[in-house]
Structure 1
Amino acid sequence: MTTPFDLSVEPWISVVCLDGAREDVGLRDVLLQAHEIRRIVGETPPMTAALYRLVLALLHRVYGPARRDDWGELWSAKAFDEVPLDRYLQMYEFDLFHPEAPFLQCSALPEEKGSTVAKLIPHKSVGNNATLFDHTVVSDRVEVPPATAARWLVTAQAFDPGGMKTPYEKDKSSERAPCSSLGVVLVEGRTLKETLLLNAISYDPQVEKPPMTTVEDAPAWERGAPLPTPGSRDPLGWTDLLTWPSRRIRLIPEIVGGEQVVTKVVLTPGMRLKGSLPDLEFMSAFRTPRAANGKINLGTPMLPIRLHPVRGVWRHSVELLLHDPWEEERTRQRPRALKQIAALTEAGYIPDDTVYTLRVFGQKLDKNASVVEGYLEEEVPAPVALIRATDKELAGLIGTTIELADEAGAALRGMQREYHKAMRAEPDVTLDLAYWPVLARPFEVFLRAVNTARVRGTSERNAVAAWRRAVLRIAEDAAGTWTAGVAASDRNLSMLGKQHAVFRNRLSKIARVFDARAAKYLTKDETE
């Protein structure tokens, strides 16, 4: 016999409160206490993103907001209204272990197909899912509390990688879950209430808002338990996609020492997503890749912005933040929440000098996209004045500053590559690690300074000059550290000195070219 575990009231979503305390809350309290909570935080970045998407789907179904005025009322209210939330929660089943409709699961999966619940947790080393840090084997008994199992259940539906799964009948193949290869973007405010509303795009299925949403849209829990056989279909709408059933899953609990725990799981292929992600997914940025010659082929499909283990996501700030009436939706697409924030600022709901944070969540998959090799989370400042801007000069300016970093990084790699080529040795990653991560903070300062200049109507010249100095200094420091390390190994000092000199000359040329490029985009002071 199992004990019900009602996710609407049982504590299972991990949050950080405004006073810094950590606690778990249920679906009801995560909304009703959202004004007292700082943020949702999972065991991994993908889990955090998956939980946000789940709570957003619930918010949409309870509160909309259908129109801008509805959004404004929610924004100005101290807290979310409990009356419509309680009415909604009573209409649907949220029991993790319900016999017919367990939450986000398929009750028809046979229990005898169950194996260790560790299969639900990517960093556990089970079967083909080998990791560097875990030593779990198939024969090991893993027990997890219901709250933990619920979090990993939600994460698996959104982020599970592709590959072979236990078949319900014959079909073993499963495609990657919708978010598995995305950088999921969240606009973060001062409280969880602000964050949820900043990401709550206009939602009204009756008038098919947002685009791709139909009158039949509903999150997974409203549709009841799915059939055990896998399939494929187009999403019915935004909340359908936010809770997409990419896997058929059944958690198998038992009582151990008087406590209910989950020990086994059945994990089989689920629903394959049809359609183009740039047309469906609103919590990510997309861009058309450039050819080897640097040009964009307009017929090439847009690809999602992803996180890189070394190079920061700030390098994609143009795609993440900026609007361009000509390029956007032809060659790049920013998260839809930013378009709404620009409109809300124009309407007076959000001050123009506000700076939010874009928090980006993702994971690194192996070359076969079937094994999770690492978790990734980064942040980028989201200044409202830049989000609202519509001129091409701003995109050109920020794009040029990122090009400066790219070209200086290429000069560093060129120095390293040519030296090791001459010495017939393999280059290491030391230079990248000494260069790219260090640039994140100076770029944040640069973006904030550009935002301030925009709000004040002054030139961005000082911000650009400070960024230029930072990039050149960090590149030279990385080169100096690397050459000192190589020299200490008593290698060919003459060749080392030659390549370092070539690097410095190349860096000087890069700086001169940058000065000319940036000058074309700088706003002039009114006094000039």
Structure 2
Amino acid sequence: MSRFNLIDEKWIPVRFLDGTRDELGIRDTMLRSREIAAIEDPSPLVVAALHRFLLAVLYRALEGPTDIDQAKVLFKAGLPGEKITAYLEKWRGRFCLFDEKHPFYQVFAYEPQENNGKKEWKSWPAIAAEHNASNAKVLFDHVEIATAGPIPSRMAARWLIACQTFALGGGNSDFAYTKSAPSATAAMVLPLGVHLHDTLLLSLVPENREVLKGDLPIWEREPVPLASLKKGIARSVMGVADLYTWLTRSIKFHLAGNGETLSELAFASGVACSSENRVDPMFGYEIDVKWGKRPIPFRDRGMWRDFDSLLPDESHLAPEVIEHATALTRSNRDRFPRSVMVLGQANSKAKIEYWRMERFALPEALAGDRFIRTEIRQLLSAAEETQKSLWLACRSFARNLLSRGEREPVKKDISGFVEPRDICSSHPLRGTLRQG
């Protein structure tokens, strides 16, 4: 029996323009997107993953856009509610969290391994990065893995999508060695419109018509054979909808009761990505001398110091969503995205170092015909030089203070004195770029 259909059930957390909050199903989120200010969740990973999921739905429901002209018509006319509703009804059976044949984003044929005649189900924190002690135990997180108890299915749905989007590779599983999600380790960029309707359309980058035909999201694909998953399977990315709904992990929710809660699940490796030179529309890129073109990750410093990487220029290394948003609003300045959100996580191999969400004001000059990336880079370089001078001055002060004229202090003591002052984060340019 099918339970908890994501089309109808309330599970997507939203904030309306009037400040009130609620949770909606897929259909109502789409149809009421002009009333919604933003998707909001305590987890940046959930927020990013939900946007990518909704964009995948739109690519398939709208069968486009396939070029900028089609995108502009759509931006002017708005999301076609009837077309979206018809698409969701066509695939209704694939959006049930619990289903006898096609549970959403899961591998139904998967049963966990047995130990002494008992199946070894894992508790739900296995899919929740912020609560998973195996790779990201958090201070003040009081969830005990062994006795985590149940969570509402609406939360399980959010974590399921986030896990498939951000899972890190490393370690054996019931099947094969686990691999990272194609999108797991870079900073994701999302231009923000005046409401969710515009936010989604600003990131709906046109896709080639022929590519679009074979660009199937997870719910339109036939299940991957269990034998292939156990052996270890890899394939290339077929398009944006495919990329945004990649089966990184083989997961199966254990139905207990009426499907309103989840306690246990099966969890193993999924499909590895063999596309080395794929371009993710939400990623900014940089040229590495050794590795060539690579997505920009979160570093051990504020993202504002790499802000120029978000801005378009003739190199076309900026996120495609930013280039698309500026092209879409060039003749409609009132709908130009005033800010951009950067979300994701930083990792050390299979360990999550931190997850982050930052928000910046987007220069309105982008809506014109000129590039400003070089100018921003010059400002950032000046800020770097200022920071370096301040750092050296503080180190000199610390050395003199700690030596008391009698000894040469060790470098560790000097760094310990200077680093807590967080000199770089107080630079005025940071405040100029940041928003919220």
TM-score by structure 2 length?
0.86
- Kindly indicate whether residue 191 of structure 2 is the aligned counterpart of residue 201 of structure 1: no
1:92-132 CA-partner distances (Å, limit 9, x unpaired): 12101011111111001105242111111122254454333
Which of these residues, 299, 303, 311, is aligned with residue 313 of structure 1? 303
Which of these residues, 334, 340, 356, is aligned with residue 324 of structure 2? 340
Could you tell me whether the CA contact under 8 Å between 1:125 and 1:137 is conserved in 2? no
Partner of 1:268: 268
Identical-residue share of aligned pairs (%): 27
Partner of 2:433: 444
* Counterparts of 2:259 and 2:21, CA distance in 1: 23
* Counterparts of 1:98 and 1:259, CA distance in 2: 10
- Kindly indicate whether residue 365 of structure 2 is the aligned counterpart of residue 385 of structure 1: yes
Which of these residues, 359, 375, 384, is aligned with residue 397 of structure 1? 375
Which of these residues, 332, 335, 346, is aligned with residue 364 of structure 1? 346
* Counterparts of 1:94 and 1:403, CA distance in 2: 49
* Counterparts of 1:386 and 1:413, CA distance in 2: 33
Could you tell me whether the CA contact under 8 Å between 1:105 and 1:249 is conserved in 2? yes
1:325-355 CA-partner distances (Å, limit 9, x unpaired): 2xx15xxx11112222343345x2x228945
Could you tell me whether the CA contact under 8 Å between 1:102 and 1:225 is conserved in 2? no
Structure having the higher Rg: 1
Name the CA shift for 1:408/1:441 in 2 (closer, same or farther; >3 Å): closer
Partner of 1:433: 422
Question: Secondary structure in 2 aligned to 1:48?
Answer: helix
Could you tell me whether the CA contact under 8 Å between 2:148 and 2:263 is conserved in 1? yes
* Counterparts of 2:341 and 2:31, CA distance in 1: 23
Partner of 1:241: 243
* Counterparts of 2:58 and 2:137, CA distance in 1: 37
Question: Secondary structure in 2 aligned to 1:104?
Answer: coil
* Counterparts of 2:238 and 2:285, CA distance in 1: 22
* Counterparts of 2:36 and 2:344, CA distance in 1: 23
Could you tell me whether the CA contact under 8 Å between 1:125 and 1:135 is conserved in 2? no
Q: How many residues get paired?
A: 411
Question: Secondary structure in 2 aligned to 1:363?
Answer: strand
Name the CA shift for 1:273/1:388 in 2 (closer, same or farther; >3 Å): farther
Name the CA shift for 1:192/1:437 in 2 (closer, same or farther; >3 Å): farther
* Counterparts of 1:379 and 1:307, CA distance in 2: 14
Partner of 2:129: 122
Deviation of 1:202 after TM superposition, in Å, equals: 1.2
Could you tell me whether the CA contact under 8 Å between 1:120 and 1:265 is conserved in 2? no
Partner of 1:374: 354
Deviation of 1:71 after TM superposition, in Å, equals: 2.4
Paired residue type of 2:356: L
Could you tell me whether the CA contact under 8 Å between 1:217 and 1:239 is conserved in 2? yes
Partner of 1:492: none
1:414-440 CA-partner distances (Å, limit 9, x unpaired): 344454594114313645634315545
Which of these residues, 288, 300, 303, is aligned with residue 294 of structure 2? 303
Paired residue type of 1:120: I
Partner of 2:183: 179
Could you tell me whether the CA contact under 8 Å between 1:115 and 1:264 is conserved in 2? yes
What is the Cα-based RMSD across aligned positions, in Å?
Answer: 2.6
- Kindly indicate whether residue 219 of structure 2 is the aligned counterpart of residue 221 of structure 1: yes
* Counterparts of 1:374 and 1:100, CA distance in 2: 37
Paired residue type of 1:281: D
Paired residue type of 1:66: T
Partner of 2:53: 54
Greater shift in the superposed pair: 92-101 or 354-363: 354-363
**Unaligned 5+ runs, structure 2:** 113-118, 403-407
Question: Secondary structure in 1 aligned to 2:34?
Answer: helix
Paired residues for 1:55-70 under 5 Å: 55-63=54-62, 64-70=64-70
* Counterparts of 2:99 and 2:427, CA distance in 1: 50
Paired residues for 1:469-484 under 5 Å: none
Could you tell me whether the CA contact under 8 Å between 1:157 and 1:245 is conserved in 2? yes
Deviation of 1:166 after TM superposition, in Å, equals: 2.8
* Counterparts of 2:54 and 2:335, CA distance in 1: 28
Could you tell me whether the CA contact under 8 Å between 2:16 and 2:37 is conserved in 1? yes
* Counterparts of 2:168 and 2:322, CA distance in 1: 28
* Counterparts of 1:413 and 1:248, CA distance in 2: 48
* Counterparts of 1:133 and 1:440, CA distance in 2: 33
Paired residue type of 2:319: P
Deviation of 1:403 after TM superposition, in Å, equals: 0.8
Deviation of 1:404 after TM superposition, in Å, equals: 1.3
Name the CA shift for 1:253/1:215 in 2 (closer, same or farther; >3 Å): same
Paired residues for 1:462-501 under 5 Å: none
1:42-92 CA-partner distances (Å, limit 9, x unpaired): 231011000000000111111222343432333223x53221112111221
Paired residues for 1:9-158 under 5 Å: 9-63=8-62, 64-77=64-77, 80-92=79-91, 93-111=94-112, 112-127=119-134, 129-158=136-165
Deviation of 1:405 after TM superposition, in Å, equals: 1.3
Name the CA shift for 1:415/1:165 in 2 (closer, same or farther; >3 Å): farther
Could you tell me whether the CA contact under 8 Å between 2:135 and 2:352 is conserved in 1? no
Deviation of 1:150 after TM superposition, in Å, equals: 0.3
Could you tell me whether the CA contact under 8 Å between 2:326 and 2:336 is conserved in 1? no
Deviation of 1:413 after TM superposition, in Å, equals: 2.9
* Counterparts of 1:110 and 1:261, CA distance in 2: 19
**Unaligned 5+ runs, structure 1:** 290-296, 448-528
Paired residue type of 2:217: P
* Counterparts of 1:67 and 1:396, CA distance in 2: 28
Name the CA shift for 1:215/1:113 in 2 (closer, same or farther; >3 Å): farther
1:154-173 CA-partner distances (Å, limit 9, x unpaired): 000000122225323xx2x2
Paired residue type of 1:160: A
* Counterparts of 2:426 and 2:254, CA distance in 1: 43
* Counterparts of 1:434 and 1:97, CA distance in 2: 51
Deviation of 1:301 after TM superposition, in Å, equals: 1.4
Name the CA shift for 1:163/1:410 in 2 (closer, same or farther; >3 Å): same
- Kindly indicate whether residue 217 of structure 2 is the aligned counterpart of residue 231 of structure 1: no
* Counterparts of 1:154 and 1:223, CA distance in 2: 16
Could you tell me whether the CA contact under 8 Å between 2:325 and 2:337 is conserved in 1? no
Deviation of 1:444 after TM superposition, in Å, equals: 2.5
